[in-house]
Chains A and B, each alone.
Chain A
Amino acid sequence: MGTAWCGLIFAPHLQLGALQPAPSVGISSALYPTRLEGRSQQGAEVYRSLGCAHCHSQNVRGNVADLSRWGPRRTVSRDYLYDEPPLPGTLRIGPDLSNAGARQPDAAWHLAHLYQPRSKVVKSLMPPYPFLFEVRKIGEAPSPKALRLESPYAPPEGFEVVPKHEAEVLVAYLLDRKKSVALFEAPMPSSLKKEEAGATNAPTGAVAP
């Protein structure tokens, strides 16, 4: 009993327990990582409470496939220092989200995708989250936050879909997902071979961002 506790709890704690943000190996002298700002932290709570980690991983491994698809470098312990709790996930039924903010920086895309994933990805397996949104009658003028949806997902005539606070902070959290600052323990990988580097994650039939 005690040996495994020492080996897998105590020893890693000696190595990881006192981990601090580190200067990036790149150009910036700012420390990485930084604490999530308010809205992103709230979004992290929404992410955790909806159990997104059960379909989406947030961990780029060191193999060619992961680096090509979700790169640019593998994620390391320091990346999760200020994630409370870290959500590296256990299953990848949807894309890895470690760098979601870099891959898809358009908030409107994320909101529409949360409302009805099939409006953005053909035959998506992701369940819709309509309870994060409000379908309401258009007032004097359409709300600037209203989602732009095409039929058959658009609301009926005279109605608009507006994100609730949870949806907005969740998207802020997703846009903040960028684990790509070069660190000592995670240097940017050397060039992938040209043919391997042609990885595509663009879903078939999707509208190009």
Chain B
Amino acid sequence: MSETRPTPESTASVSEAMKSSDASCRDAGLLLFWMAATWAVAGALLGLLSSLKFHGPGMGSGAVLTYGRVYPASNFLLFYGALAQAAIGVMLWLIARLSGRPLASAWMVLPGGLSWNLGVLSGAGAILTGNATGISGFEIPRGPAVMMLAGYCAMALPGLLTLMTRRDKPWYVSECFLLAALFWFPWAFSTAILFIHVFPARGMMLVLVGEWQYSNLSRVWLALIAYAVLFYMVPKLARRPLESGPTAAFTFWLTVFFSSWIAVPPGSPVPAWLQGVSGLAAMVSVAPMLAAVTNLRATCGDQAEAIRSQPGGICFLVSIPCLLVASLLQAGASFRGVADVLGYTFFEMGLHTVFTGGFVGLTVLGAVLFALPRLTGVPWGAESMISMVGKLATGAVVVVGVSLLGAGILQGFAAADVSVPFETALKRGMGPFRLSTLGWLAGVGAAVVVWMQITALGWKVCSVCCIPPLFREMLPAGKAKKAEVAA
């Protein structure tokens, strides 16, 4: 329950401001979320295929469909094509809302989005045709990378301008997160382009730069956006104030300072101090995570049911435990002894799924499901479908994450025992791994359903003004209306 009841006038003016800022993000939101859903379907299908290959390695022959290309392509499409793009859309929407004014120069998002998506398309094509860089975390060649960076800058500029000309009102905590997030992506991404493509570093520095970039993007940039969404949506849906602003600021500063250092995988062939530093950072990063989780938990109170009843609300409820689990496991797995057992197994894949897919992915999905009807003024086609998206997505993340973590643990312990032949150690993890294919199936289902819903919603919006009157008459809906008018 709100502790302060807003006065009628302020409610009305807030409501008007909110509507106009939502409406200003309509085109941007539609483009980014629809393209994100499209890439999500493509990425999930490729992910399903790469998971299926473990059931029968001979599946899908041919160079383009070989596992070594399908797997990085799937990762790339899901991370950059779907998740990052949707996160940018959510970031812009939230900035506009919290600034209390329409998105400034919103037209820039359209060419920016075009450039980004062209980059994603050509990047995925490059990976599938064997032109990947081979550096994990930064597989794309120079051209697509530059297109994506340029696209991002064009998309982020409206956000920055909006924040700079925001209405005179107190800063909400999420705005600080979003301001930092605006800058974090180009900083990390441009460093990677610079040191991998423009002035290539030698030897292990290339790998280090790629890992640093990917870690910063997923653990800081996307995490900042996800935190911003959670700190906004959870109090809003629970109709209670955010428990503690200072604690949220605590989360912000510690995430920004420490999470950016968790880049070096333990066991890497780099001087030992790099892994020590990353381990220290991973341990300290548990604190901001705990701060956020307890803050949100206290905010939610007994209103979990209220949140769950919203379409897509279950995403928020599951993403918070995902954050908790992933951060604790990350800290634990940074220790040398643990990493010696769990390194190079499916455990790391599972950790990535739980953090990036679970915490960030589900949060952004929940935000998209909440925001899109409000941006466009058109409700979702069917609430049951949207609930299903939420359930499928959370189910997918949990099943894939848990099964990979389990597979990794079994594999790791078997491989650490030198009396076990390597092939046997590998096979020990296969049981749980095969379960993850079911998770991928659910993920494909969620992606397809959300794509269909967004397409239907977008069609309703675009068909109003984008299709010339002449063609509208030819459509069945147009013919029906014509008959109606004539009658």
Q: How many residues of B contact A (CB 8 A)?
A: 71
Interface of A is mostly: loop
Q: Are A85's CB and B207's CB within 8 A?
A: yes
Q: Are A16's CB and B270's CB within 8 A?
A: yes
Q: Closest chain B residue to A131 by CB distance?
A: B63
Q: Are A4's CB and B131's CB within 8 A?
A: no
Q: Closest chain A residue to B67 by CB distance?
A: A127
Residues of B within 8 A of A77 (CB): 203-204, 269-271
Give A contacts to B, CB under 8 Å: 1, 3-5, 7-9, 12-13, 15-17, 19, 48-55, 57, 59, 61-66, 68-69, 74-95, 117, 121, 123-131, 196, 198-204
Most B CB contacts (10 A, CB to CB) among A12, A52, A61, A69 go to A12
Residues of A within 8 A of B53 (CB): 127
What is the CA–CA distance of A62 and B272 in the complex, to the nearest angstrom? Answer: 11
Most A CB contacts (10 A, CB to CB) among B58, B72, B418 go to B418
Q: Are A9's CB and B191's CB within 8 A?
A: yes
Q: Are B205's CB and A16's CB within 8 A?
A: yes
Asked whether any CB of chain A lies closer than 8 Å to the CB of B416, the reply is: yes
What is the CA–CA distance of A129 and B260 in the complex, to the nearest angstrom? Answer: 39
Q: Least Cβ distance of B50 to chain A in Å?
A: 9
Q: Least Cβ distance of B345 to chain A in Å?
A: 7
Asked whether any CB of chain A lies closer than 8 Å to the CB of B264, the reply is: yes
A sample of 25 cross-chain residue pairs with beta-carbon separation below 8 angstroms, ordered by A number, consists of A1-B183, A1-B256, A1-B260, A12-B271, A13-B205, A16-B202, A16-B271, A48-B133, A50-B66, A50-B130, A52-B68, A54-B68, A57-B344, A74-B269, A80-B204, A85-B207, A89-B136, A91-B348, A92-B345, A92-B415, A121-B423, A125-B57, A128-B57, A200-B419, A204-B421
Most B CB contacts (10 A, CB to CB) among A17, A80, A204 go to A80
Q: Are A19's CB and B422's CB within 8 A?
A: no
Most B CB contacts (10 A, CB to CB) among A74, A82, A93 go to A93
What is the CA–CA distance of A190 and B241 in the complex, to the nearest angstrom? Answer: 61
Residues of A within 8 A of B423 (CB): 121, 124, 203-204
Contact of A12 among B69, B187, B274, B345 (CB under 8 A): B274
Asked whether any CB of chain A lies closer than 8 Å to the CB of B34, the reply is: no
Q: Are A49's CB and B270's CB within 8 A?
A: no
Asked whether any CB of chain A lies closer than 8 Å to the CB of B265, the reply is: yes
Q: Are A86's CB and B348's CB within 8 A?
A: no
Q: Are B269's CB and A92's CB within 8 A?
A: no
Contact of A95 among B59, B67, B183, B422 (CB under 8 A): B422
Asked whether any CB of chain A lies closer than 8 Å to the CB of B461, the reply is: no
Q: Are B261's CB and A53's CB within 8 A?
A: no
Q: Closest chain A residue to B68 by CB distance?
A: A51
Q: Are B426's CB and A93's CB within 8 A?
A: yes
Query: When each residue 55-77 of chain B gets 1 if its CB lies under 8 Å from chain A and 0 otherwise, what string results?
Result: 00111011100111101100000
Q: Are A61's CB and B340's CB within 8 A?
A: yes
Given contacts A8-B212, A17-B201, A80-B203, contact A117 B72 (CB under 8 A): no
Asked whether any CB of chain A lies closer than 8 Å to the CB of B184, the reply is: yes
What is the CA–CA distance of A77 and B184 in the complex, to the nearest angstrom? Answer: 29
Residues of A within 8 A of B340 (CB): 61, 63, 65-66
Give 8 closest A-B pairs by Cβ, nearest first. A51-B68, A49-B130, A4-B260, A92-B344, A199-B418, A48-B134, A63-B340, A61-B267
Residues of A within 8 A of B417 (CB): 65
**Complex interface residues of chain B between 12 and 67 (CB less than 8 A to chain A):** 53-54, 57-59, 61-63, 66-67
What is the CA–CA distance of A128 and B265 in the complex, to the nearest angstrom? Answer: 30
Q: Are A8's CB and B263's CB within 8 A?
A: yes
Q: Are A65's CB and B58's CB within 8 A?
A: no
What is the CA–CA distance of A204 and B135 in the complex, to the nearest angstrom? Answer: 33
Most A CB contacts (10 A, CB to CB) among B67, B191, B212, B216 go to B67
What is the CA–CA distance of A80 and B203 in the complex, to the nearest angstrom? Answer: 5
Q: Least Cβ distance of B277 to chain A in Å?
A: 7
Q: Are B422's CB and A201's CB within 8 A?
A: yes
Asked whether any CB of chain A lies closer than 8 Å to the CB of B370, the reply is: no
Query: When each residue 317-345 of chain B gets 1 if its CB lies under 8 Å from chain A and 0 otherwise, what string results?
Result: 00000000000000000000000100111
What is the CA–CA distance of A22 and B427 in the complex, to the nearest angstrom? Answer: 40
Given contacts A50-B130, A80-B204, A127-B53, contact A1 B68 (CB under 8 A): no
What is the CA–CA distance of A64 and B183 in the complex, to the nearest angstrom? Answer: 43
Q: Are A88's CB and B426's CB within 8 A?
A: no
Q: Closest chain B residue to A5 by CB distance?
A: B191
Q: Are B209's CB and A9's CB within 8 A?
A: yes
Contact of B131 among A16, A49, A61, A199 (CB under 8 A): A49
Most A CB contacts (10 A, CB to CB) among B59, B267, B416 go to B267
What is the CA–CA distance of A95 and B426 in the complex, to the nearest angstrom? Answer: 10
Most A CB contacts (10 A, CB to CB) among B131, B207, B208, B270 go to B207
Contact of A16 among B57, B204, B261, B422 (CB under 8 A): B204
Query: When each residue 265-287 of chain B gets 1 if its CB lies under 8 Å from chain A and 0 otherwise, what string results?
Result: 10111110010010000000000
Asked whether any CB of chain A lies closer than 8 Å to the CB of B132, the reply is: yes
Q: Least Cβ distance of B125 to chain A in Å?
A: 13
Q: Are B202's CB and A76's CB within 8 A?
A: no
Q: Are A51's CB and B422's CB within 8 A?
A: no
Most B CB contacts (10 A, CB to CB) among A13, A64, A74, A130 go to A13
Residues of B within 8 A of A57 (CB): 344
Residues of A within 8 A of B212 (CB): 4, 8-9
Q: Are B261's CB and A9's CB within 8 A?
A: no
Besides the known contacts A16-B270, A63-B416, 5 further A-B residue pairs in the complex with CB atoms under 8 A apart: A1-B183, A8-B277, A49-B131, A50-B130, A127-B61
**Complex interface residues of chain B between 171 and 227 (CB less than 8 A to chain A):** 183-184, 187, 191, 195, 200-209, 212, 216
Given contacts A65-B416, A86-B204, A125-B54, contact A201 B131 (CB under 8 A): no
Asked whether any CB of chain A lies closer than 8 Å to the CB of B424, the reply is: yes
Q: Are A86's CB and B206's CB within 8 A?
A: yes
Q: Least Cβ distance of A84 to chain B in Å?
A: 8
Q: Least Cβ distance of A92 to chain B in Å?
A: 4
Q: Are B270's CB and A81's CB within 8 A?
A: no
What is the CA–CA distance of A71 and B130 in the complex, to the nearest angstrom? Answer: 30
Q: Least Cβ distance of A61 to chain B in Å?
A: 4
Q: Least Cβ distance of B395 to chain A in Å?
A: 24
Given contacts A4-B212, A61-B267, A201-B422, contact A17 B205 (CB under 8 A): yes
Q: Closest chain A residue to B59 by CB distance?
A: A127
Residues of B within 8 A of A92 (CB): 344-345, 415
